[in-house]
Amino acid sequence: MSVEIERCGHRVVDHTADEIVTAWGPTREACLEQAALGLIDSVADVRDVGWCHHVEVVLRGTDTELLVGLLDEIIFRLDADDEIPVRVRIRRHGREVVAGLWMADRRAAVMAGAAPKGVSYSGLMIEEDPSGLWRCQVTVDV
């Protein structure tokens, strides 16, 4: 199925040394959720992995800051805690955005690619297009 007619999704685009994650969804929150899932997919196959505990992370700032903050949080937890989210839910809570992350032991997942180091601001984009679809693009250093 063409990605253009799916209302929600993500994919990884070629970049010589890094990874470009693109994502889209009908709302800003859905778009953020897909970006997180895109990052996770580029690291590991978590389809058969059960979650151990649930955390909620409060994100603040511009749309760009929300996107970078969300992906930074996942990268941080991979390094510091050896944990990876297997499910992500983003919801608006007043002026804030709350990221619900269902965390699993990273070692239970099948690793699919190099570990992400950080989120680059080069070519970073998140916006609502004229059709009402939210799209984002982010380069992740691996």
Partner 1 sequence: MMVPTIGANGSEVTFTRTSEVCWRMEPRGDMRVPGILFASERLLPDVQGDRSLEQVANVATLPGIVTASYAMPDVHWGYGFPIGGVAATDVDRGGVVSPGGVGFDISCGVRLLGSPFDRSDLAAHLGTLMDELGRSIPCGTGRGGVWRVGQRDELTRILVDGAEYPVELGYGEPRDLDRCEDGGRLTSADPDQVSDRALERGIGQVGSLGSGNHFLEVQVVDEVVDEACAAVFGLHLGQVCVMIHCGSRGLGHQVCTDHVRRMQASMDALGIEVPDPQLACVPVRSDEGRDYLGALAASANFARANRQWLTEATRDAFGQVAGRRDLPLIYDVSHNLAKVETHQVDGRQAHLCVHRKGATRAFAAGSSELPDDLRAVGQPVLVPGSMGTASYVLVGTSPGDAFASCAHGAGRTMSRHEAKRRGRGGRPLRDQLRGQGIEVRARSLRELPEEAPEAYKDVDEVVRVCELAGLARPVVRLRPVGVVKG
Residues engaged in binding partner 1 (CB under 8 A): 12, 14-19, 43, 72, 75-76, 78-82, 106-107, 110-115, 117-124, 139, 141-142
By beta-carbon proximity to partner 1, the closer residue of 43 and 90 is 43
- Could you tell me where the beta strands, DSSP code E, fall in the chain? 9-13, 19-25, 44-45, 53-59, 83-93, 96-105, 110-111, 118-128, 134-141
By beta-carbon proximity to partner 1, the closer residue of 80 and 131 is 80
- Provide the 8-state DSSP code for 106: G
CB of 44 to partner 1, least distance (A): 8
CB of 33 to partner 1, least distance (A): 22
CB of 83 to partner 1, least distance (A): 8
By beta-carbon proximity to partner 1, the closer residue of 30 and 39 is 39
CA distances from 125 to 7, 104, 120 (A): 18, 29, 11
Q: For the chain, how are helix, strand and coil distributed in percent, rounded to 5? A: 30, 45, 25
In 3D space, the residue among 18, 29, 43, 34 whose CA is nearest the CA of residue 119 turns out to be 18
By beta-carbon proximity to partner 1, the closer residue of 6 and 125 is 125
CB of 1 to partner 1, least distance (A): 20
